[in-house]
Amino acid sequence: MGQLKLNDQEIQFYQEQGYSLYRKPLFSAEKQAELTAIFEEQLALKGSKLSDELDTPHFRDERLLEFLLSDDVLDLVEPIIGPNIGLWSSHFICKDPFVGRATPWHEDSAYWNGRLDRFDSIVTVWLAIDRSWKENGCMRVIPGTHENGFSEYENVDGTSNTFNTQIKNVDESKAVYFELEPGECSLHDSRIMHGAAANQSEYRRCGYTMRYFSTEAKVLPEKNPGHKIWLARGKDIAGNSFVNVSTPSR
């Protein structure tokens, strides 16, 4: 275990607002370059999939576990969800220039409803691989909405959006945009309202989401066929079925 990366003020802000911006390099320049190279390999192998559909790449390429289970990330996550940490998922999200689809307003927890028994201690680390800013469709959130419970959804066009549903009646004037340089990251609660506009710029926008949960939550095996979780740090509390109990560090 290394040095925890968030101070008391930053932790309090996250608890109240449901997000935090970490405007420092998460990994060393060498490690960031290695991760970017793995992404480019995954992108080249994607076949007919759209670039925003590269889900759970660590299932296919275990090199990613060296990043996902590293102290670099876990020292950022621990102040948010505690010392007992499970790796829930990861996802390369890439919005190609001019054609990158919009991500409708949503709560991650709504799409995972029924797969875990609680959602109050799940955090996503969104690491910028490319520069991510308003012009190319950076992520945006509605602060404080992680305490609202599940929202009401409506249907949207799935060809121009990454999902075919969105939260109704979102006041976009309250949105905070997560503009990040490569290597910087954001953190957000699984219950917060968030999304992203389409990328209509000439610049690609790729990020790597790394998702973690407190092992006080139970992942329901019957609702997660084929899904794999790792014990990243600490101990299992709820009796989950993990792939392993070791924690590689870099």
pLDDT per residue as tens digits for the range 166-190: 889 999 999 999 999 999 999 999 9
Do residues 199 and 133 lie in contact, with contact meaning Cβ atoms separated by under 8 Å?
no
**Strand, helix or coil for residue 220:** coil
User: 3-class SS at 109?
Assistant: helix
Question: What parts of the chain have a pLDDT lower than 70?
Answer: 1-2, 48-53, 245-250
Can you identify the CATH homologous superfamily of domain 8-233? q2cbj1_9rhob like domain (2.60.120.620)
Question: What phi, psi does 96 have (nearest 5°)?
Answer: -70, 155
Q: Give the model's pLDDT for residue 234.
A: 97
8 A C-beta contact, residue 98 and residue 169: no
Name 219's bridge partners: 116
Residue 52's pLDDT is what? Answer: 64
* Predicted model pTM: 0.92
Give residue 100's pLDDT: 85
The residues spanned by each domain of the chain are: 8-233
